[in-house]
Amino acid sequence: MGSRALLMLTNFKFKSSFASSSSKPFYLVKSSPTIRKLSTKTRSSLQPPDVRRLAETARISLAPNEVEEFAPKIRQVIDWFGQLQAVDLDSVEPAFRADTEGDNLREDVPETFENKEALIASVPSYKEPYIKVPKVLNKE
């Protein structure tokens, strides 16, 4: 399964662009944040968080002073987890996921949810039969 290790190392394209050919345009994509960094023999340092960008992508509004205030605090949390970097992973295969259980599957049998009225009633803005939302034309 060395191929999986290779997968982890490369920078992924988020959208299926053209097949692996060296001459393709390389679309810079920030896939997932630093979590994917593979441990190397030398201890790598974790990037400091870009709090303003994080807040934007998570749609959490922060005042400028809050951004300044939170950055070191978030950094502290990350660094605390950063202790894991000390583990020697040279002889360990990267796992897909953290758990070890397998499938939890369900049969393809329809079941109607009983209390749909309650679901609809909990929608803040409902204009029968649709959920009413602000007009948005473009995806993020």
Partner 1 sequence: MASTLFRTIQIHPFSLYPTAICRRRNGVLYCTMKSTQTQTATQEKQQPPKVKVSQHTQSKTLDKITRDYEAIIGIETHVQLSTLTKAFCSCPYNYGSQPNTSICPICMGLPGALPVLNSKVIEFAVKLGLALNCKLSLNSKFDRKQYFYPDLPKGYQISQFDIPIATGGYIDLDLPLEFGGGHRKFGITRVHMEEDAGKLLHSGNGDYSQVDLNRAGVPLLEIVSEPDMRTGIEAAEYAAELQRVVRYLGVSNGNMQEGSLRCDVNVSIRPVGQSEFGTKVEIKNLNSFSSINRAIDFEISRQALLHTQGHDDQIVQETRLWEEGAQKTVTMRKKEGLADYRYFPEPDLPEVILTQEYVDGIRNSLPELPEMKRRRYEKMGLSMQDVLFLANDVNVAEYFDATISRGADIKLAANWIMGDIAAYMKNEKLSINEIKLMPEELVELIASIKGGTISGKIGKEILFELLAKGGTVKGLIEEKDLVQIVDPVEIGKMVDKVLSENPKQLEQYRGGKTKLQGFFAGQVMKISKGKANPVLLNKILLEKLNAKS
User: Which residues form the interface with partner 1 (CB under 8 A)?
Assistant: 4, 7, 12, 14, 16-19, 21, 23-25, 27-33, 35, 57, 59, 96-99, 101-113, 116, 119-120, 122, 127, 129-140
CA-wise closest residue to 45 among 85, 8, 81, 73: 85
CB of 116 to partner 1, least distance (A): 6
Q: Backbone dihedral region of 59: left (phi > 0), alpha (psi from -120 to 50 degrees) or beta?
A: left
Nearer to partner 1 by Cβ, of 13 and 75: the residue is 13
Half-sphere exposure of 38 (CA within 13 A, CB side): 17
Q: CB of 61: closest distance to partner 1 in angstroms? A: 13
Query: Taking the complex as a whole, how short is the minimal distance between the CB of residue 42 and partner 1, in angstroms?
Result: 25
What are the structure tokens assigned to 39, written together? 């441990």
Q: How far is the CB of 34 from partner 1 (least distance, A)?
A: 12
Report the residue number, 90 or 111, with the smaller CB distance to partner 1: 111
Residues 61, 67: Cα–Cα separation, whole Å: 10
Cα 112 from Cα 125, distance rounded (Å): 23
Choice between 43 and 127, CB closer to partner 1: 127
Between 8 and 89, whose beta carbon lies closer to partner 1? 8
Distance of alpha carbon 2 from its chain centroid, rounded?
Answer: 24
